[in-house]
Amino acid sequence: MKFSYCGIRVKNLDESLKFYTDIMGMKIVRPPSKLPLVGGTYVALKSPDSEQILELNYYEPNSPYAKPFTNGEDLDHLAFFVDDFEAAMKRFKEKGVKIAVERVDWWQRTKGAYILDPNGIWIEIAETTVENYLRD
Protein backbone atom coordinates (compact mmCIF):
# COMPACT_ATOMS: atom_id res chain seq x y z
CA MET A 1 0.00 0.00 0.00
CA LYS A 2 1.64 3.20 -1.17
CA PHE A 3 0.80 6.86 -0.69
CA SER A 4 0.65 7.90 -4.35
CA TYR A 5 -0.52 11.50 -4.69
CA CYS A 6 -2.31 14.44 -3.09
CA GLY A 7 -5.40 15.67 -4.93
CA ILE A 8 -6.71 19.20 -4.50
CA ARG A 9 -10.01 20.54 -5.79
CA VAL A 10 -9.92 23.57 -8.07
CA LYS A 11 -12.72 25.98 -8.94
CA ASN A 12 -11.30 26.82 -12.35
CA LEU A 13 -9.08 24.24 -14.06
CA ASP A 14 -7.45 26.64 -16.53
CA GLU A 15 -6.61 29.14 -13.81
CA SER A 16 -5.08 26.50 -11.52
CA LEU A 17 -3.22 24.78 -14.35
CA LYS A 18 -1.74 28.15 -15.31
CA PHE A 19 -0.72 28.82 -11.70
CA TYR A 20 0.91 25.43 -11.08
CA THR A 21 2.67 25.32 -14.47
CA ASP A 22 3.57 28.95 -15.33
CA ILE A 23 4.25 30.18 -11.81
CA MET A 24 5.16 27.03 -9.82
CA GLY A 25 7.04 25.42 -12.73
CA MET A 26 5.24 22.05 -12.71
CA LYS A 27 4.71 19.88 -15.79
CA ILE A 28 1.58 17.97 -16.78
CA VAL A 29 2.39 14.26 -16.42
CA ARG A 30 -1.14 13.02 -17.06
CA PRO A 31 -3.26 15.19 -19.34
CA PRO A 32 -6.77 16.27 -18.27
CA SER A 33 -9.04 13.20 -18.17
CA LYS A 34 -12.81 13.36 -17.85
CA LEU A 35 -14.78 11.03 -15.57
CA PRO A 36 -18.30 11.26 -17.05
CA LEU A 37 -20.01 9.46 -14.15
CA VAL A 38 -18.42 11.88 -11.67
CA GLY A 39 -18.89 15.01 -13.74
CA GLY A 40 -15.28 15.86 -13.24
CA THR A 41 -11.85 16.21 -14.79
CA TYR A 42 -8.49 15.41 -13.24
CA VAL A 43 -4.94 16.15 -14.28
CA ALA A 44 -1.63 15.19 -12.67
CA LEU A 45 1.42 17.43 -12.28
CA LYS A 46 5.03 16.99 -11.20
CA SER A 47 7.94 19.33 -10.78
CA PRO A 48 10.95 18.51 -12.96
CA ASP A 49 13.33 16.18 -11.09
CA SER A 50 10.76 15.37 -8.41
CA GLU A 51 8.56 12.32 -7.90
CA GLN A 52 5.86 14.12 -5.85
CA ILE A 53 2.53 14.13 -7.69
CA LEU A 54 -0.15 16.79 -7.33
CA GLU A 55 -3.57 16.04 -8.83
CA LEU A 56 -6.01 18.81 -9.70
CA ASN A 57 -9.70 17.87 -9.52
CA TYR A 58 -12.37 19.96 -11.22
CA TYR A 59 -16.10 19.26 -10.85
CA GLU A 60 -18.68 20.58 -13.29
CA PRO A 61 -21.49 22.66 -11.74
CA ASN A 62 -23.99 19.78 -12.04
CA SER A 63 -21.65 17.15 -10.52
CA PRO A 64 -22.78 15.65 -7.19
CA TYR A 65 -19.27 16.52 -5.95
CA ALA A 66 -19.55 20.22 -6.83
CA LYS A 67 -20.38 21.29 -3.28
CA PRO A 68 -19.85 24.97 -2.45
CA PHE A 69 -16.10 25.54 -2.27
CA THR A 70 -14.78 26.12 1.25
CA ASN A 71 -11.23 26.33 2.56
CA GLY A 72 -10.94 23.84 5.39
CA GLU A 73 -8.42 23.14 8.10
CA ASP A 74 -7.73 19.58 6.92
CA LEU A 75 -5.31 20.61 4.18
CA ASP A 76 -2.66 22.49 6.14
CA HIS A 77 -0.35 23.41 3.28
CA LEU A 78 1.55 22.24 0.22
CA ALA A 79 5.32 22.77 0.24
CA PHE A 80 7.59 23.84 -2.60
CA PHE A 81 11.34 23.93 -1.97
CA VAL A 82 13.44 26.45 -3.90
CA ASP A 83 17.13 27.02 -4.60
CA ASP A 84 16.91 30.82 -4.36
CA PHE A 85 14.32 32.20 -1.95
CA GLU A 86 14.72 35.87 -2.88
CA ALA A 87 14.45 35.16 -6.62
CA ALA A 88 11.32 33.08 -6.07
CA MET A 89 9.62 35.75 -3.94
CA LYS A 90 10.52 38.47 -6.45
CA ARG A 91 8.92 36.41 -9.21
CA PHE A 92 5.75 35.74 -7.19
CA LYS A 93 5.35 39.48 -6.62
CA GLU A 94 5.89 40.28 -10.30
CA LYS A 95 3.25 37.69 -11.19
CA GLY A 96 0.76 39.11 -8.66
CA VAL A 97 0.69 36.03 -6.43
CA LYS A 98 -0.93 36.62 -3.05
CA ILE A 99 1.49 36.41 -0.13
CA ALA A 100 0.08 35.02 3.15
CA VAL A 101 3.26 35.34 5.27
CA GLU A 102 6.09 37.39 3.75
CA ARG A 103 8.81 35.80 5.84
CA VAL A 104 8.48 33.18 8.56
CA ASP A 105 10.58 33.72 11.66
CA TRP A 106 9.92 30.39 13.34
CA TRP A 107 12.57 28.32 11.58
CA GLN A 108 16.23 28.51 12.38
CA ARG A 109 17.07 26.32 9.47
CA THR A 110 16.15 28.27 6.37
CA LYS A 111 14.32 31.15 4.72
CA GLY A 112 10.61 30.61 4.25
CA ALA A 113 7.29 32.23 3.35
CA TYR A 114 3.70 31.27 2.58
CA ILE A 115 1.90 32.20 -0.62
CA LEU A 116 -1.69 31.42 -1.67
CA ASP A 117 -2.80 29.42 -4.68
CA PRO A 118 -5.80 30.64 -6.75
CA ASN A 119 -8.17 28.76 -4.39
CA GLY A 120 -6.67 30.04 -1.16
CA ILE A 121 -4.51 26.99 -0.42
CA TRP A 122 -1.44 27.86 1.64
CA ILE A 123 1.84 27.03 -0.09
CA GLU A 124 5.04 26.97 1.92
CA ILE A 125 8.09 28.28 0.07
CA ALA A 126 11.38 27.27 1.71
CA GLU A 127 14.99 27.51 0.59
CA THR A 128 15.92 23.91 1.25
CA THR A 129 15.86 20.42 -0.27
CA VAL A 130 13.90 17.30 0.60
CA GLU A 131 17.15 15.74 1.87
CA ASN A 132 17.71 18.62 4.29
CA TYR A 133 14.06 18.73 5.32
CA LEU A 134 14.21 15.08 6.32
CA ARG A 135 17.42 15.36 8.31
CA ASP A 136 17.86 18.87 9.77
Taking the C-alpha atoms of residue 109 and residue 133, their distance in angstroms, rounded to an integer, is: 9
Among 12, 15, 18, 71, binds a second copy (CB under 8 A): 71
Distance in Å, CB of 113 to a second copy, minimum: 13
Could you count the other beta carbons within 10 Å of the beta carbon of residue 47?
17
Q: Which is nearer to a second copy, 14 or 69 (CB)?
A: 69
Check binding of 9 to a second copy (CB under 8 A): yes
CB 41 within 8 A of CB 32: yes
Distance in Å, CB of 93 to a second copy, minimum: 15
Among 17, 19, 24, 113, binds a second copy (CB under 8 A): 24
Taking the C-alpha atoms of residue 103 and residue 44, their distance in angstroms, rounded to an integer, is: 30
Taking the C-alpha atoms of residue 119 and residue 35, their distance in angstroms, rounded to an integer, is: 22
Could you count the other beta carbons within 10 Å of the beta carbon of residue 120?
12
Check binding of 113 to a second copy (CB under 8 A): no
Look up residue 13 and give its amino acid: L
Among 1, 61, 94, 96, binds a second copy (CB under 8 A): 1
Contacting residues toward a second copy, per CB under 8 A: 1-9, 24-26, 29-30, 35-38, 44-55, 57, 67-83, 88, 105-107, 119-121, 124, 130, 133-135
